[in-house]
Amino acid sequence: MTDRPRFHIIHGTPAPQTEAEKVRERVRKAPKPRTMPQCHRCGGREYVETKIGIGKTATKQRVCFLCAMKGERVIM
Ligand SMILES: [Zn+2]
């Protein structure tokens, strides 16, 4: 065990204003058409539909494709 803390508390510091963060912010604030789902994490609109089960009992979920590529499962 080390004494180094694993988590640090920050006091409301905004995300660093990098170019990438500016783009993310712009995409998040872009108007959202109701018919077009958007990922709440990356702002992407591309999704894949996953299915558990078969027929009428199947559960479908829309998972962000961009996040899925990064190994994260974000439901849209
Ligand atoms: Zn995403």
Rounded average pLDDT over 2-21: 75
Rounded to the nearest angstrom, the distance between the alpha carbon of 59 and the centre of ligand 1 is 20
- pTM score of the predicted model: 0.54
User: What pLDDT score does 7 carry?
Assistant: 80
Rounded to the nearest angstrom, the distance between the alpha carbon of 74 and the centre of ligand 1 is 6
* Residue 37 in tokens: 């789902």
User: What pLDDT score does 13 carry?
Assistant: 67
Rounded to the nearest angstrom, the distance between the alpha carbon of 42 and the centre of ligand 1 is 4
Rounded to the nearest angstrom, the distance between the alpha carbon of 67 and the centre of ligand 1 is 4
Q: How far apart are the first and last CA of the chain?
A: 39
* Residue 7 in tokens: 């988590």
pLDDT digits (tens, 9 = 90+) for 17-68: 788 888 888 877 877 667 788 888 888 889 999 999 988 889 999 999 999 9
Distance CA 75, CA 7 (A): 26
User: What pLDDT score does 47 carry?
Assistant: 93
Of the two residues 36 and 73, the one the predictor is more confident about is: 73
* Residue 48 in tokens: 């894949």
CB 24 within 8 A of CB 35: no
Q: Which amino acid is at 29?
A: K
